[in-house]
Amino acid sequence: MADDIEKLSRRRRVILALYGILFLGLQAVLFKKLDDPIELWRPIHYAYAASYLGWSGTLIYIFSTGGLLFRGRSPEARAALNDELTEANRVAGYKAGYWAVLIVAFVLFVLSQTYGVTAQEALRITFAVGVAMPACRFAGLERKQGA
């Protein structure tokens, strides 16, 4: 059973890290697709917006609850995977996300004074960092403690 728990823990780390990094990395693609005014959107734009919302919602859900990864597992396995250390790592992830959002908001405020960053761009970037950063920090802490 210990091997199964270690395997599930490793899978959670990899999925959260990959999911968070890809979420941040693909923001430029989604930003470009959703820049048109909503009056000019075609059905494909709504699909992009829905995928963005779905992806961010899934990332938040998996990070905050452990998500679909442990569905159907025994209560003992779920308890072992959501122990005190995992909860502490989750709290550290939320703290990292909070500080990252504050730093990004400040940087974007400064940039908006000289480079004309719009409110829409600032909100998208801030939201993306706020969603991805906690998951990446959590995965990094889990990796460090699991190695």
- Residue-wise pLDDT for 23-32, tens only, equals 888 887 887 8
Mean pLDDT of 9-23: 82
For residue 85, give its domain range: 2-146
* pLDDT tens per residue across span 82-136: 778 888 888 999 999 999 999 999 999 999 888 888 888 888 899 999 989 998 8
How many other CB atoms sit within 10 Å of the CB of residue 134? 27
* pLDDT tens per residue across span 58-84: 888 887 776 655 555 666 777 777 778
Burial of 60 (0-12, 13-18, 19+ CB in 10 A): middle
Number of folded domains that form the chain: 1
